Amino acid sequence: MSLSVYGRKLNSYRRAKEPLGIKGVRQSVVITHNPCTNDENRTLLVRFLNLVANDVIVPESVKLAFTIVLKSTVISSQTIVNNIGRAIVKKTTIKISGNEVMSIDDLDVFQCYMDLWKSKNERSNAQYQGIDSSAKKNVTLLPIGATDADDGIFAYKAIAYAYNNRFFIPLDFKLLKSHMPFYQSALGDRLEYELVFNDCKRV
């Protein structure tokens, strides 16, 4: 029996040397939310587009991007927590066809804890999510204008320049990150996220 496709663990979907690739037209869709700003303890509704019969969503490709603006007037005290993409949301509710399928309070604590198991390579490439593995958290401090940031290392400045103060919230519900593409047409209705933003003091 071949192990070339599904590794060493047997499962009910196992096939001998069956390719897992899917060919199709690739398209990137950007939706701008209205209102385009949000604040602490407010809820944001994210509704996915209606996908037709042949449309799928590539696993781990869905993100909610945002630009953070700090209210602090003291430049030296400007800072954000590591992994802001997780820390900024305190509750998530996921619905399909209007029915709630999952709701998690204190999601920031749970997801930040889970992200501690990311590999060193994954963490070094997660700056857009707000995970900063650089010395003194330079890549995060530089875009927000903190005076204690060290701008002497070109690599840190290059990353900070590329992303600036823009980060993303991973929308990684199981249906959107498994080994199979998300096929909404089979569910009959749209997928919805309700995100409740965290207190500023926790971010």
| CATH label of the domain that carries residue 190 | 2.70.9
pLDDT of 95 reads 92
Is 58 inside any structural domain? Answer: yes
Is 142 inside any structural domain? Answer: yes
- Mapped onto helix, strand or coil, the DSSP state of residue 167 is strand
pLDDT of 198 reads 93
Whether 192 and 92 have beta carbons less than 8 Å apart is answered as no
pLDDT of 19 reads 63
Is 122 inside any structural domain? Answer: yes
Is 155 inside any structural domain? Answer: yes
Is 65 inside any structural domain? Answer: yes
Paired strand residues for 105? 91
Q: For the chain, which ranges sit under pLDDT 50?
A: 1-4, 6
pLDDT of 35 reads 76
Q: What is the CA radius of gyration of the chain?
A: 20
pTM of this structure: 0.79
Which residues have CB under 8 Å from 15's CB, separation 6+?
Answer: 5, 6
pLDDT of 29 reads 86
Phi, then psi, of 100 in degrees rounded to 5: -75, 125
Which is it for the CA torsion 71, 76, 81, 84, positive or negative?
positive
- The total of other beta-carbon atoms located within 10 Å of residue 108's CB is 25
pLDDT of 115 reads 94
pLDDT of 106 reads 94
pLDDT of 8 reads 59
Is 194 inside any structural domain? Answer: yes
pLDDT of 1 reads 42
Taking CA atoms, 149 is separated from 77, 140, 156, in Å, by 11, 9, 10
pLDDT of 14 reads 64
Number of domains in the chain: 1
| Interatomic CA distance for residues 192 and 96, integer angstroms | 6
Is 137 inside any structural domain? Answer: yes
pLDDT of 51 reads 83
pLDDT of 176 reads 84
Q: Which of 88, 86, 112, 95 is nearest to 46 (CA)?
A: 95
Whether 139 and 159 have beta carbons less than 8 Å apart is answered as yes
pLDDT of 197 reads 94
Whether 129 and 65 have beta carbons less than 8 Å apart is answered as no
Left if phi > 0, otherwise alpha if psi is -120 to 50, otherwise beta: which for 134? Answer: beta
Structure tokens belonging to residue 203: 């971010």
Expressed as residue numbers, the domain containing 179 is 43-202
Residue type for 168, please?
A: F
pLDDT of 108 reads 94
Is 173 inside any structural domain? Answer: yes
Match 């047997």 to its residue by tokens.
10
